[in-house]
Amino acid sequence: MQKNTEKEKDIILNVKRLKKHFPIHKGVFRHVAGYVKAVDGVDFFIKKGETLGLVGESGSGKTTLGRCIVRLYDPTEGVVEFHQNGGVKNLSNLKRREMNVIRRDIQMLYQDPNSSLDPRMRIGDIITEPLKIHRIGSPKQYKERAKELITMVGLKPHQLNMYPHQFSGGQRQRIGVARALSLSPELIICDEPVSALDVSVQAQVLNLLSDLQDEMKLTYLFIAHDLSVVEYISERVMVMYLGKLVEIASSEKIYKNPGHPYTEALLGAISKHEPGVFRRYILEGSIPDPSDPPPGCVFHTRCPYIKEICRNIVPALKEVKDGAGSFVACHRSDVLGLKGYN
Ligand SMILES: Nc1ncnc2c1ncn2[C@@H]1O[C@H](COP(=O)(O)OP(=O)(O)O)[C@@H](O)[C@H]1O
Ligand SMILES: [Mg+2]
């Protein structure tokens, strides 16, 4: 184990040059005909106790990135440093047994509470299953822990004997949260946890997540495709497009003063004052094929501000000189004066 440097003291996760390329198999002999570059060289860090939002259209690689962190997928390349108790471990090449120990500390919360909860299991068993898998505690302790967990997420102990179908969508996601909390993790990768819920219920689940974060000093990587959900919960936001991060900035900056044309386009698709009304420039076309990404800037095929350089040269994700720790990958960011939504 390496020691933390002073600068890394408040960092929990540091991801460097992360790639996940899925092979495409073709023909009778299933030879590899190419690769889907779902995550294609991503660098970022998460600070302890913060919520880092991750947004981008469907297919941009958000879920794959989350799954690489918890090693549900083995990354093709790159480093995922997890900082804990003053030390650092690279999760991307950790042996399975060691990784299983770390899995207690990094949990995943899924989008669809219907398919992630086993319909034949009682709630009490569902939420304490991780304890059993990791062989922590005794049956008596499972019962106690189940009561604690169900209360934490705003449900009642008598509901522990019920089955998932007896609950509403919002309640089922609360059960998903209880399960994710059962091992007292430090980091939770929330993969669109409210996307499948009615708008009226979304805020309740987001409130719950943010209360639990304060109480338990949790850190979240919060994935969403909707910028308005992320704004509500995140301190900083990352924007992903076709396997690459195109912008990282504080929530406030992203909304007031976006640095990347793709971020501006995502903001243009929502309106604070007229929900459902599309304003300004709306993204046309769809996300290109990630097995054959465009050369130069990956966004150039849909960008309204394109110049020759954008077709040929890949823009690096560079720190913006605003002293606020923002990063943008755009050749023309400085001259564009992009608009936020206010
Ligand atoms: N297991 C897989 N095998 C092959 N391709 C995959 C797999 N999972 C995702 N992909 C592809 O990777 C790209 C990114 O997908 P995903 O990470 O699910 O994006 P998002 O969560 O942003 O919608 C998509 O083109 C998707 O089809
Ligand atoms: Mg996804």
Residues 183-221: pLDDT tens digits? 999 999 999 999 989 888 999 999 999 999 999 999 999
Structure tokens at 163: 């089955």
Instruction: Judge whether residue 273 has pLDDT over 80.
Output: no
> Is domain 2-105+185-336 classified as CATH 3.55.10.10?
no
Residue 6 confidence (pLDDT): 54
pLDDT band at 278 (very low <50, low <70, confident <90, very high): very low
Instruction: Judge whether residue 143 has pLDDT over 70.
Output: yes
Check: CB of residue 187 under 8 Å from CB of residue 218.
Answer: yes
The three-state secondary structure class of 43 is: strand
Residue 272 confidence (pLDDT): 56
Q: Domain map of the chain by residue range?
A: 2-105+185-336, 119-183
Which residues are bridge partners to 21 per DSSP? 37
Residue 67 confidence (pLDDT): 96
Look-up of token digits 């949790």: 218
Distance 323 CA to ligand 1 centre (A): 34
What is the position in ligand 1's atom list of the atom closest to the CA of 66?
17
Of 18, 36, 246, the residue with max ligand 1 atoms within 8 A of its CB, to mutate for a pocket test, comes to 36
Q: 36-46, pLDDT tens digit by residue?
A: 999 999 999 99
Instruction: Judge whether residue 227 has pLDDT over 50.
Output: yes
Q: 147-173, pLDDT tens digit by residue?
A: 999 999 999 999 999 999 999 999 999
pTM over 0.75: yes
Residue 34 confidence (pLDDT): 94
Check: CB of residue 219 under 8 Å from CB of residue 48.
Answer: yes
The three-state secondary structure class of 310 is: helix
Q: Which of 336, 311, 210 is nearest to 261 (CA)?
A: 336
Q: 86-123, pLDDT tens digit by residue?
A: 899 999 999 999 999 999 999 999 988 778 899 999 99
Q: 45-95, pLDDT tens digit by residue?
A: 999 999 999 999 999 999 999 999 999 999 999 999 999 988 999 999 999
62 lines ligand 1 (CB under 6 A): yes
What is the position in ligand 1's atom list of the atom closest to the CA of 24?
4
Distance CA 48, CA 184 (A): 15
Distance CA 116, CA 323 (A): 42
Which-ligand-closest: CA of 195? 2
Instruction: Judge whether residue 259 has pLDDT over 50.
Output: yes
Instruction: Judge whether residue 258 has pLDDT over 50.
Output: yes
Distance 44 CA to ligand 1 centre (A): 20
